[in-house]
Structure formats: C-alpha cells, structure tokens
Chains A and B, each alone.
Chain A
C-alpha cells in the first residue's frame, strides 16, 4: 500500500529537502574554488579575493533548483505511473501522427511566413537536406542495422555525378537526378559486396574507410574532379524548364517573366526550399512504403537476427545489398540537390564530419523513426545556428545538448516502433475487400 502511495505522489517533502541539501553541499564544495575565489588585477599584481556573497547565491540557487526539479520530476513520474500502460500504447502512434502532420504543415507554411527572410529559408533548406540524408541513412542503419560511417560518400557521388554530367555533357538537374541516384546505388552495391560478412564495429570501420577513399579520390584525381579546386558554376534547377534568372537568354522565358512577376532573388530560394521539401517527402513516402513491404520487413528482421533470417530461407546477401543500394540512392539524390543549390562543390563538403552528423541525426532521432530524424535534424542544424551568439561556447553548448538528450532519452527522441501490420486491422481490411469483391 505504501509503495503505491510513493509511486503516486513521489517522495515526501523531507526526502526532497534532504536530497536538495546534498546537492547544495556539493555545490558549495565545487563553488568555493570556482565562484568563491576570484583573481583581481591590482596595479599589475594578481591578488585573490573572496566572493562569499556570490557563493551564497550559487549554493542557494542550487538548493532551490534541485528542490523544484525533484518536485516536478516526481509529479511527472506520479502521473505517468497512474496512467494505464495500455492507453499509452494506443495513444503514441496518434500523437506521433499529429506531430508529423503539424511539422509538415509548418514546413509548407514556412516560406509564406518568412517570404522576405532569406536566412530563415536557407537554414530550413539545410535542415531539409539533412532530413533527407537522415531518412536515407535510416534505411541502412535504422532498419537494416548496418552501421555505416561513410554515408557521405554516396552524397558525394550524387553531387559529383551531376557536376560532371553538366560540365562534360551539359545535362540539366532533372536529367542528372535519376542517373546520379543510379550511380550512387551502384557504389552502394560496390561497397556492400566486400563487407557482406562484417557486422558491428568491423563494418563501421570499413565503411569509414570507404567514405575516406571517395573523398581522397576526389581530392587527388584532378583530371576527373578538378581536385581540391572543386567544380563551379553548376546550374540551378529549373521549374518545368523555367530558369530563375533576371535576364533569361534570348527567346526564352524565366520564371518571373512567364508568370508576369517582378524578378526577385527570393523566388529561387523559395523554389529550392520547396524542391527539397518535395524530394524529402518523396523519400519519406518511399521508405515508409518499403518498410511495409517484404524487403523492408526483411531489413528489420536482418537487424534483429541474421541467423534466423537464413533459417527462414531468406537470401541475406540480397537483403543487405538492397539496403545499401536504396540508402545510397537516396543519399545520391540529396547530393544532386546539394550541388545544384550550392552551384559549387569541392571535396571539402564531404568530410567525415558530415557522415558523423548524419549518423548522429539517425541515432539521436531514434533508430528507424522517421519523425525522430526530423526532430534530430532540427536540433543538430539549428543548435549551432542559434548558438552563433555564444561564439566560442557554441560547440560546447552543442555537445552538452547532445549528451543531455542521450541521457534523457537513451534510445533516441522517438524510439517507439510502429508495427508494419496489425492482425485485426489487416483482417478487417481483408474481409472488407472480400465483401466488396463479392458484391461486384
């Protein structure tokens, strides 16, 4: 009985007081050198002065903060414990769906609300590139459970394929997009073959090496890639053949002249934003659909138990290669967009840090969760941007936030897994289809 009361109402005030007193004591010990003592420059000589007033405030704030924090935590915990677990299970997918639609609505409305603010839309475009990359890598890491530290290689392959196709053959964005995707998928399979037998740490190291190989080739094979100088003046994508230019070539129309608008540089920025939004959404629909197909279920089964997959008669080689190929293809698409948006690419854009960021997005978001990737991409791209005001503390803040998130949610922001099929729902649909068939 008493256990129930504790679970409902948390700890007693006396316990909370004791806990806060301990924290205050630790704060005091730490605070004496850090807050209580300070050095002052007095006429060239450095002297130590005490700041007991400050120390007192520091300890007091620690005490009060801890007390309130505990109280809130206990309230939250009590409320959670009081709720029946079943209701929570049923509610989660609905909540996720609601958040998902809200995020989608916000992202469609964003350029309308900030139509004059180039910085906001540019940053949002960057977020969306990472969202798309995250969704692509999610296939390999989140669904198939193959730890890939060299994902940026496929991003680079996509970007360079477009850049080279343009500079040698004058291909446009839309022509190059499918070819670059296919090219990246080919590289995905090329990487996949030698590492079929590897798992976990070993796999991670080899993929890391693969990412570096691609980058080093791009730096050194000057005849192909123009080396560290990169490839410039890559054309921007057009809208059904309408370029976003102030002065279109003789006899052609630009977006602004076709629609009878005054030319504005923002048109292109907003168009790029919507383009990546559409690409990312297509990626999402594609991956969500695949997840509910045999191939997607096989990826997840592979993540869960490779030996059991074999015992079920599954060709594990094909399953792995398809995961690598699909993941790489999506990365390649994102790369084409990146090249078109920047107008200039060089190997410097495809360093290991990029791979690490994309992987962090997938892990932080919760492996396999589509919405989690969006939230994590927002956090990982926006935090450094917001932190610009804090100049040199920026990366410190960033690191702290990541550690805090991982402590708070060890399996990622959204770790719950939605089943790909439910018995009752599926049977009901089946019966309905059979009924309709009978009537017709």
Chain B
C-alpha cells in the first residue's frame, strides 16, 4: 500500500527557445511519503515544479496524478489554478509569496476561496449571510484555526503577514498551502533562510504531516540537514536530467552526485555549479 504511486512524471521536457531546462525527465512520487528533489543551482528544479503545478506548459511529456478520490488526472493538460483547485496539488514558492497586507488568518481563509465561493452562491448567500454560508465560513475558520494551532501561529493570527519575520512567513506559507487541502504538497526550498533551530522544527513538521495526515510531500531543498533527515526518496537533477535516484543513504554515496556537487579535479567539468546552501 505504501508503495502506491501518487504522481508519475514521464519523459518530461521543457524548452525555452534554445535552452532545455528539463530534458526527458521521469520521476515517480510515492503516496504518503516525502520525496526530495535536489541538485545544483540552475539544475531545473523550480522549472520542474512550475511544470507540475500548471505555471508552465511542458514542451513534451506527461504528468499523471492518481488522485485518491477523483482517480487519474493529467496535470500537464490543466492550466494555472485548476491544478490546485481540482487536482489538489499545491505549492509554495522559493521567494515567499504571501498576501503581505492581509492578516495571517485572512491568508489562510483566502486559501479556501473555492470552497467558500461555492458556499456563497455567487455572493448572494454571502451578502445576506444565509445560514448555509455562515456554516461554511465557520468551517473554513475551524480549518484555519486548526493549522494555525498546528504551526504555532495562533498568537499572531490577526497580524499582517508582511510584518512578520522571515522564518514565520515560511511557516505561514506552508499553513496556507495546507488550507487548500492538498493531496500533494510541493515545497520549494522551505528551509531557505531558516536558522538551525527553525530547520529542525521544519523537519518535525514535515514528518508529522506525512506520517499523521498522510499528505505526500515533494520537496526542493538545498539544506542537506533537512533533506537527509526527512526524505524517504531523493531524486538528483543536474542540467535538467536525472543523474541519481534512491534513498538518502544511496544518494550520499553516489559518485555522480558528489561529482555534480563538488566537481572533479581530473576533468574539465567546472566546479562553478556547486550547490550553494542559499
């Protein structure tokens, strides 16, 4: 059961003009596990995320999601918001994208837009505050309050999100994504800019989301203290190609990976693509 595939990417290629950002990539993401995508800067990790979540339309290849309730879906044919709305594949961003002037709670309520919008019946039920809408709003509030509590944000729920420290904003972004009720959560460098203590807390959070809530997580990360501790499965990209795949232990000892990250003395391969711990 635990080996069931949630997302399978086959022969994915993304070209921008002459530049091939992703080259014939095939990856599968198991359900209920944490999968990490690592690789040096410019390896195509974020482009890969953009292809999965409908922000880019891949040049060729397929992205199949086996949704636990809705069955098989083809993500590469879905545009923009439909990936998050219908397939419930939700992402966060490398450079945090919150709604800075809105409060933390509002950020989490906005994430439940589709649910609430439907309940508001073209805003008519909402304008007159009919019971059906009020019930939906209370439910959305409970969801938000649950995740606020879970991520330790309850005390700052009514503060504008943009006024909060960087590490907190990262947590808010994850909380907001969780409010969309994801089956697959794609996190783009969630540990970037976090101090060691915050990184350790992130590890605990990711593991509990995966083990307790059964949410599959796809993770792009440079911080090896996070990647190696939480990942069940790691996929290494370089120049848009998959160069290795396996458990953390296998990846740590893979010569190809070491070469990509550190370069090799006796070859002409430049060491300039070293993965920085940005």
Contacts and interface: CB of A to CB of B under 8 A. Distances in A.
Interface of A: 286, 289-290, 293-295, 297-298, 300-301, 304-305, 307-316, 417, 419-424, 426-427, 430, 433
Interface of B: 53-55, 80-86, 90-93, 97-103, 105-106, 109-111, 113-114, 116-117, 120, 123, 126-127, 134, 138, 141-142, 145, 148, 154, 157-158, 160, 176-177, 180
B141 A426 contact: yes
A351 to B, nearest CB: 33
Contacts of A420: 106
Nearest to B107: A301
The 6 closest A-B pairs by CB, nearest first: A313-B84, A313-B85, A304-B99, A423-B157, A294-B116, A308-B97
Contact of B81 (A294, A316, A424): A316
Contacts of B160: 417
A308 B85 contact: no
12 contacts: A286-B127, A293-B127, A297-B106, A307-B97, A308-B99, A310-B54, A312-B111, A313-B114, A315-B81, A417-B101, A422-B105, A423-B105
B98 A305 contact: yes
A313 B127 contact: no
A297 B81 contact: no
Contacts of B91: 311
Nearest to A430: B138
Contacts of B109: 297, 421
Contact of B113 (A313, A423, A424, A430): A313
Q: Find the residue from A286, A305, A417 having the highest chain B CB count within 10 A.
A: A305
B99 A298 contact: no
A424 B158 CA distance: 9
A312 B90 contact: yes
Q: Find the residue from B100, B127, B148 having the highest chain A CB count within 10 A.
A: B127
B183 to A, nearest CB: 12
A311 B120 contact: no
Given A422-B105, A422-B158, A311 B90 contact: yes
A423 B148 contact: yes
Contacts of B105: 419, 421-423, 426
B84 A294 contact: no
Q: Find the residue from A295, A312, A314 having the highest chain B CB count within 10 A.
A: A312
A419 B160 CA distance: 9
Contacts of B106: 297, 300, 419-421
